[in-house]
C-alpha cells in the first residue's frame, strides 16, 4: 500500500510563515482565476480536443504554477524514495541501481 507523502515539520512551519493572509488571499484569487479560465475552456463545446499548450499560453501564470507544482511534487517523491530505501533488499537496491545506470 503506498504511503502518504509527508513533509518535515520545520518545512511545514516555513511554508506557513511564508503564507501571510495577504499572500494566501492573493494565491487563492490567482488559483481561482486560473481554474475559471480552464473551466471556461473545457466547457466550450466547440473544442473537440483539449489543447494543453493553448491553456498554458492563454492562462496567465498557469505554466509557472504547473512548474512550481511539479518541482514541489518532485521533492516529495525524492524524499519518499529516500525514506523507503532502507526497507529494500540488497537485490532490489541493485535493480534500482541498474535502472539508474541505464538512463542517459
The C-alpha cell that represents 102 in the structure block: 541505464
21-76 residue pLDDT tens: 889 999 999 999 999 999 999 999 998 899 999 999 999 999 999 999 999 999 99
Helix 21-43 crosses helix 62-85 at what angle (to 10 degrees)? 110
**pTM of the predicted protein model:** 0.56
Task: Give the closest residue to 58 by CA, choosing from 33, 25, 24.
Answer: 33
Q: Which of the listed ranges 18-22, 32-36, 83-87 does the model predict with the highest average pLDDT?
A: 32-36
Report the 3 state secondary structure along the chain. Answer: CCCCCCCCHHHHHHHHHHCCHHHHHHHHHHHHHHHHHHHHHHHCCCCCCCCHHHHHHHCCCHHHHHHHHHHHHHHHHHHHHHHHHCCCCHHHHHHHHHHHHHCC
Are the beta carbons of 68 and 43 closer than 8 angstroms? no
Amino acid at each position: 500500500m503506498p504511503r502518504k507523502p509527508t513533509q518535515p515539520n520545520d518545512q511545514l512551519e516555513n511554508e506557513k510563515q511564508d503564507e501571510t493572509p495577504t499572500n494566501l488571499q492573493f494565491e487563492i484569487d490567482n488559483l481561482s482565476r486560473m481554474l475559471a479560465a480552464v473551466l471556461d475552456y473545457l466547457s466550450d463545446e466547440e473544442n473537440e480536443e483539449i489543447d494543453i499548450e493553448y491553456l498554458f499560453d492563454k492562462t496567465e501564470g498557469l505554466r509557472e504554477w504547473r512548474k512550481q507544482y511539479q518541482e514541489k511534487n518532485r521533492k516529495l517523491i525524492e524524499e519518499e524514495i529516500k525514506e523507503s530505501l532502507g526497507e529494500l533488499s540488497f537485490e532490489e537496491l541493485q535493480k534500482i541501481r541498474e535502472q539508474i545506470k541505464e538512463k542517459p
